[in-house]
Amino acid sequence: MTTIRAGIDVGGTFTDFVLAMPDDNRVLHHKEPSTPDDPTVAVAQGLAAIAAQAGISPAEYGAITHGTTIGLNTIIQRRGARLALVVTEGYRDILEIGRSRLPSSFDLHAAKEEPLVPRELVVELPARLHPDGTPARTPADEELARAAAEIDADAVAVVVLHAHTNPRFEAEIARRLAKLLPGTEVAASATVWPEVREYERTLVACLNAYIQPLMKAYFERLEERLAALGITAPVTIAGSNGGALSLRAAVDRPIETVLSGPASGVTAATKLAAEAGIERLVTFDMGGTSSDIAVALAGTPEIATRTNIGGLPLVLPVVAVNAIGAGGGSVVRVDEHGVLKVGPESAGAVPGPVAYGRGGTRPAITDCYLRTGLLSPGAFLGGRMTLDAEAANRALAEVGDRIGLDSVHAAAAALRVATAGMAVELQKILVQRGFDPAEFTLVPFGGAGPTHAAALAEEVGISEIVVPPAAATFCALGAAAADLRRDFARSLRRPLDEDGLARLREIVGDLREQARTWLAEQGVATGEPRFDVSADLSYLGQAFELRVPLGELTVAAVAEALHAEHERLYGFRDLQAPIRLGTARLTVVGPVAALPYRTVSGGGSEPAASGTRPVFLGGEWAEARIFQRAELRAGDRFAGPAVVEQEDTTVVVPAGWAVTVDEFGNLRVRR
């Protein structure tokens, strides 16, 4: 029997579930109202409900992967542990000083984020390493005892200068300190992430310690809930890098899970692309508040080695998800200068767009969809919620009066404004990476992604869109399909010569052994592991490095890899400049599961429309045919203007575009 796999994505409003049952070619979807006070309640209820829907016992689950934003929300809302920081003497203000940058250089009122650790909880210790990793000062027992006496906290991060060159030295200090602080979590920074740049490494260690007690308690409650259901299947946690790690590993390094929700959606899209033979894709996740994109090439999402969380820099490898604009709840307004604006303020779920009938008075993008006929008042959420078209019309008419437009033209103008903003950001992101948008396929998901996808594609010159079957539970699908994956790194900071290359080979060998050990510790059966080697490289004199994939480890091959990547990004290669080796990186992937997609039976003709309705596209009204997604079969074809309705979203197909349904139920929309 093939393993029955469940994927879970915990959101603020709903907790989404996907159940993949390969033996009888079924993929089930379920949405359970979230329980913010204790998210494990919704997780347990949803797992029981989808098991009942499938006609199985929860004990029959073979594997569960859980994505969560609990750690992310803890950081953003600043409700983590009371945290202390132990640092090398003279570095007490490392979090206060940071990189001496304001969030905005031209905002006179800009303020830096408050440090995670108040200055009174930062303790100095006479512990120091030389830059080459040899000890300069080892603290005596009485010095450690004095430091421990100053600490009154739930968790402690230990950061020794240059610890990335000798992680064992720092780890031993953390071990000795933990013996003096029973019941307190104590973590060494280089154990969490052994990279150069003290401020960023300090911040990663602090963030990990800050969320660790809360995440540990959450995972313990989760295990109790699953045990009460009779579930004995191994549980993995979705990671920010698009993979998954064991629950035990997530307890030790919860910081690796903070962006797991968005990353899981990208994972699903890249596996979908591999099935569909798509080499280059852009994911487009449009929810209620914002729209996010990510880029993937040859089945691999782009990974960023630095990002920003709650105003704080994070240097862990994460799927590069970029916010590009408005969401379905973004408010439409006219500013004091008479300019039509969309967002950034969102109507949220309550009161929500005017059409929700929950007291909202300002129109949102969803109201614009409704006024232009892209949404049906009676088909929203599969008919479980009726939208108030007249209320949306009145609200948009008020906006239109201020700029001399009627309600429908005001709605269309707002959609164009939103699309233009997204297009500018999307083009910027792709062009900065040396890519032409026309070479990419757009994969939309989220509640509003398929509705807005064609407008965005037309604006940037993309000619193919692939809409997956279950857009609103796509992140849960990605969790169910996630392979085990972890990134390992170690900084070396050497010239690229034969000696430097020998050290690079030595470090890569060590990282490979660490990766094999990590895989064995996860307790999950995998296929043959894959090891991807890369390095952060730069020309001498540059302040930051480029992450460059490596094949053959020779001086000439490594140099050529940097030259080629630098030329792709910046248009030139500097053949005279010496090259610096920054950080060696290795990613291990343990394949666990193929994408749990059901296949659909064959059709092969133009399907019957369930009706028609007028839609306002391209500045004019047109009669669009309405199709029901559940009734479409593989091989079905039809041309726009058309609207495809399904329970969790609506797909808009303008004139000039045509749809083909593939064997997995994806809508291949082309022009």
Tokens found for residue 584:
């060696």
Q: What does the pLDDT look like over 164-183, one tens digit per residue?
A: 999 999 999 999 999 999 98
Distance CA 526, CA 406 (A): 59
The class (CATH top level) of 484-590 is alpha beta
Distance CA 396, CA 437 (A): 33
Residue intervals in the chain for CATH 3.30.420.40: 5-75+216-260
Read off the pLDDT of each residue in 9-35 and give the average, rounded to a whole number: 82
Q: 181: Cβ–Cβ under 8 A, 6 or more apart, which residues?
A: 148, 151, 156
Distance CA 50, CA 43 (A): 11
Residue 349: predicted pLDDT: 65
Contact between 81 and 211 under an 8 Å Cβ cutoff? The reply is yes
Percent of the chain clearing pLDDT 90 (strictly above): 58
Tell me the pLDDT band of 1, cut-offs 50, 70 and 90. very low
Q: What does the pLDDT look like over 67-88, one tens digit per residue?
A: 988 888 888 888 889 999 999 9
Q: Which of 396, 432, 471, 462 is nearest to 666 (CA)?
A: 471
Q: Other CB atoms closer than 10 Å to residue 598's CB: what's the count?
A: 17
Q: What does the pLDDT look like over 341-365, one tens digit per residue?
A: 988 887 776 788 888 888 888 899 9
Tokens found for residue 556:
């000439």
Tell me the pLDDT band of 536, cut-offs 50, 70 and 90. very high
Tokens found for residue 508:
């890569």
Q: Is 624 helix (H, G, I), strand (E, B) or coil?
A: strand
Lowest pLDDT segment from 109-113, 421-425, 512-516: 109-113
Please count the CA atoms within 13 angstroms of the CA of 82 that sit on its side-chain side.
7
Residue intervals in the chain for CATH 3.30.1490: 484-590
Residue 254: predicted pLDDT: 93
- Work out the mean pLDDT of the chain and round it to a whole number: 89
Q: At what angle do helices 407-432 and 389-401 cross, to 10 degrees?
A: 80
Q: What does the pLDDT look like over 249-301, one tens digit per residue?
A: 999 999 999 988 889 999 889 988 888 888 899 999 887 777 888 999 877 88
Tell me the pLDDT band of 444, cut-offs 50, 70 and 90. very high
Amino acid at 315: V
Backbone torsions φ then ψ of 470, nearest 5 degrees: -125, 80
Superfamily of domain covering 5-75+216-260 = ATPase, nucleotide binding domain (3.30.420.40)
Burial class (CB in 10 A: 0-12, 13-18, 19+), 443: buried
| pTM of the shown model | 0.85
